[in-house]
């Protein structure tokens, strides 16, 4: 993956999510992913539009910082400062923006190292048992191990989906097989909400 990100737009509305202008490439140099800003606007139908290239005059970066529909998190995220060095090193190793990894941790676990989901996902980046096994992770509840493994897994998904960050994130949530089955973002409310939350938190962390 190299060069500059191509325009990416996502539309969320009434349980329908469409990916247009598909390739949102992640920059692998200097530990950055998708340099620049993310923008959004809500149209007259209540559809939320996201893009890294504001081709429509309605796009603003301020809207993206606001409350988006379909988001109802019960988690109260901890301060991720204690994991800052681990996140930075793992992100640098795999050519990703550390703020993106923080956004995933924020969304997945709320920064609680030993949290376990009803589906069996464990730790800060909520590794499923099969994923942890494939990554040779013996203790997914260990913060350092979990962050390194989760970051590596995301980098693998990015390669699998040819640098398309949105599809990689959808695969992180719903599984790569599901993304392939639907030929794009699965029409699951959970996955659509997940994408919104990660993108929103990524923008917030980048703005700090």
Active-site residue numbers? 108
Instruction: Catalogue the long-range contacts made by 62-70 (C-beta closer than 8 Å, 24 or more residues apart).
Output: 63/39, 64/38, 64/39, 64/40, 64/199, 64/200, 64/203, 65/200, 65/203, 65/204, 65/207, 68/12, 68/40, 68/196, 68/200, 69/12, 70/12, 70/189, 70/192, 70/193, 70/196
Backbone angles phi, psi at 176, to 5 degrees: -60, -35
Cα distances (Å, whole numbers) of residue 33 to 39, 44, 80: 15, 31, 19
* Residue of 74, 95, 68, 91 lying closest to 198 (CA atoms): 68
């Amino acid at each position: 993956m190299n060069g500059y990100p191509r325009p990416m737009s996502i539309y969320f509305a009434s349980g329908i999510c469409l990916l247009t202008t598909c390739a949102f490439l992640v920059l692998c140099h200097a530990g950055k992913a998708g340099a620049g800003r993310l923008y959004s606007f809500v149209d007259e139908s209540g559809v939320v539009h996201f893009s890294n290239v504001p081709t429509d005059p309605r796009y603003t970066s301020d809207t993206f910082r606001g409350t988006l529909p379909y988001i109802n998190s019960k988690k109260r995220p901890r301060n991720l400062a204690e994991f800052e060095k681990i996140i930075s090193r793992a992100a640098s190793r795999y050519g990703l923006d550390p703020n993106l990894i923080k956004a995933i941790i924020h969304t997945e676990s709320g920064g609680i190292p030993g949290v376990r989901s009803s589906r069996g996902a464990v730790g800060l980046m909520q590794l499923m048992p099969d994923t942890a096994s494939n990554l040779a992770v013996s203790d997914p509840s260990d913060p350092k191990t979990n962050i390194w493994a989760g970051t590596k897994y995301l980098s693998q998904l990015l390669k699998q989906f040819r640098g398309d960050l949105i599809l990689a994130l959808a695969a992180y949530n719903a599984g790569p097989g599901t993304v392939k089955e639907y030929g794009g973002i699965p029409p699951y409310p959970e996955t659509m909400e997940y994408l919104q939350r990660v993108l929103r938190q990524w923008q917030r962390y980048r703005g700090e």
